[in-house]
Amino acid sequence: MSMELIQTSDLSHTLKVPGKEEHYHSVHGALAESMHVFIGAGWEHRLQYTATPLRILEVGMGTGLNVLLTVQAATDAQTTVHYTALEPFPLPLTITEQLNYPALLSWAPAQEVFRSIHAAEAQKDIAITPNFTLHKSLTPLQDFPATSGFDLIYFDAFAPRVQPELWSEDVFKSLWHMANHQCVLVTYCSKGDVRRALLAAGWQVEKIPGPPRKREMLRATKV
């Protein structure tokens, strides 16, 4: 079975996982969701603390949309970024070439950058732009070395009902140990057991307004 390409409410694409009622992004707007959860509540919020070079960890690179939007944001802010993206099951280029995100952005380099993201060799530091370095890792989160020093974490794994092992207290505790002081973790999920797992792992957690058709999301901070 192959991935099903779906146009969401804001005309951007998402992918439906074969054999499961699960999508890579919200059907109510993939681009809107990523802009709200990861750029607005994550990137922009974190820049209030400091605009110095940022180390970002993404759990679940998927379509690469969050990477693309962060490259654009870093370019606009003239901020240096080292971005580690975990994705044990990367999408083939035959699928990523069909995704329409670059065409929806008012940013001339979007198409070239998006192709560079997906063409980048895994397990190596690759310069996407002069100020943005991408390290794609094929390692699952549970096996990822406990490297310290992350300032911002995009937690974009599939939903807890699909990947329950990634939403545990132990996982969030591991991420807490990888995080710098004032590190911000954002996720689209607002389930009570996820919030409690974050709290038990030592994070300070807040519920904030969610993306379209979702009342709330979670933002956690290491204090």
- 150-205 pLDDT per residue, tens: 999 999 999 999 999 999 999 999 999 999 999 999 999 999 999 999 999 999 99
Radius of gyration (Cα) for the chain, nearest Å? 16
Residue 19, class by beta-carbon neighbours within 10 Å (0-12 exposed, 13-18 middle, 19+ buried)?
exposed
Euclidean distance between CA atoms 34 and 116, whole angstroms = 20
Total domains present in the chain: 1
Please give the residue range of the domain that contains residue 206: 4-221
In order along its 223 residues, the chain shows pLDDT tens digits of 578 999 999 999 999 998 888 999 999 999 999 999 999 999 999 998 886 799 999 999 999 999 999 999 999 999 999 999 999 999 999 999 999 999 999 999 999 999 999 999 999 999 999 999 999 999 999 999 877 799 999 999 999 999 999 999 999 999 999 999 999 999 999 999 999 999 999 999 999 999 998 999 999 999 9
What is the per-residue pLDDT for 88? 96
Q: Are 41 and 206 in contact (CB under 8 A)?
A: no
Euclidean distance between CA atoms 18 and 13, whole angstroms = 16
Q: At what angle do helices 110-119 and 65-77 cross, to 10 degrees?
A: 130
Among left, alpha and beta (phi > 0; psi -120 to 50; other), residue 149 is: left
Closest to 39 measured CA to CA, from 15, 14, 67, 7 = 67
Query: Which CATH number belongs to the domain containing residue 131 in this structure?
Result: 3.40.50.150
- Would you say how long the chain is, in residues? 223
* Beta carbons within 8 Å of 12's beta carbon, 6+ residues apart: 25, 29, 30, 31, 32, 65, 100, 101, 104
User: Coil, strand, or helix at residue 2?
Assistant: coil
Euclidean distance between CA atoms 91 and 3, whole angstroms = 9
